[in-house]
A = this chain, B = another copy of it.
Amino acid sequence: MGKKPLIMIANDDGYRAKGFYKLIELMRNIGEVVAISTEKPMSGQSHSITTQEPLRVYQADSDLDYKLYVCNGRPVDCVKIGYRFTDGRMPDLMVSGINHGSNASANVLYSGTMGAALEACLDGVNAIGFSLLDFSPNAIFDHVDCYVDTISRMVLKNGLPKGICLNVNIPKISDNQINGIKICRQAKGRWNQTFEKRTDPFGRDYYWLTGEFIEEDFSDGTDIFALKNNYVSVVPTMCDMTDNASLQLLKEWKL
């Protein structure tokens, strides 16, 4: 029997999150696990890194039969520093999540779960970000097993093209069965931000960022469309943000 695949797991919901432990449980069926999470929940960290402050890392529990670390940085920091704890092996697979909340459509840009996956992807590691469409800390993950398992094994078996990782979103459990898996493109959309203005006890104003998501793309073939129809959405997501279609247009501007 060959060596078990090495799987790195990162997370942005803090090391006690249900989704993180679900992913650890599922990946332990597939390979050897090194898991590293942010210390606390850190939504919306995107591809940010910590350069102004030092990072600290500690082993959360040394009695486990897998490696579990906690880092005071962002999800991308977790991936970068996580390579220190793999005994010199590059991971065969890096999975991030399972995020509590959607990373479909433009949410991919704000997502620390996808930031971590893109970071591993830059490093040439096969990477997948998994998210569940349920923000609750008590979200139910019972229905995700076969999808996470199937997609992870398939990526390990086939490999992903260089510079591409997967953005996988899973519908919230409902009365309807999940209909399967759809390969999709990222739907157009954006957050319409609203700020709740408050005044602190010292008379100074402060704001809470809230908002609602505006869908701008109702065609089929998108991740939002798949999720609405109770499919798991899989978007091949790339590190190259060039819009090749605009290159010629801009050249005609004769700058």
A-side residues, CB < 8 A to B, are 41-52, 54-57, 73-74, 76-77, 80-81, 83-84, 106, 108-110, 112, 115, 118, 122-123, 150-151, 154, 158, 160-161, 163-164, 167, 180-181, 183, 185-186, 188, 190-191, 193, 195, 198, 204-209, 234-247, 249-251, 253, 255
Contact = CB atoms under 8 A, between A and B. Distances in A.
Contact of A54 (B154, B208, B245): B208
Contacts of A43: 51-52
A206 B71 CA distance: 10
A65 to B, nearest CB: 24
Contacts of A81: 193, 195, 207, 209
B207 A57 contact: yes
Contact of A242 (B115, B163, B186, B247): B186
A190 B56 contact: no
Given A109-B239, A154-B255, A44 B55 contact: no
Contact of A164 (B55, B73, B118, B243): B243
A227 B222 CA distance: 36
8 contacts: A49-B110, A54-B206, A77-B209, A83-B193, A106-B239, A123-B190, A164-B246, A236-B243
Contacts of A55: 195, 206-209
Contacts of A49: 44, 46, 110, 209
A208 B49 CA distance: 11
A209 B109 CA distance: 23
The 3 closest A-B pairs by CB, nearest first: A236-B246, A46-B47, A54-B206
B54 A44 contact: no
Given A81-B195, A84-B195, A255-B234, A249 B54 contact: no
A243 B118 CA distance: 13
Nearest to A166: B250
A207 B56 contact: yes
A222 to B, nearest CB: 9
A186 B241 contact: yes
B51 A48 contact: no
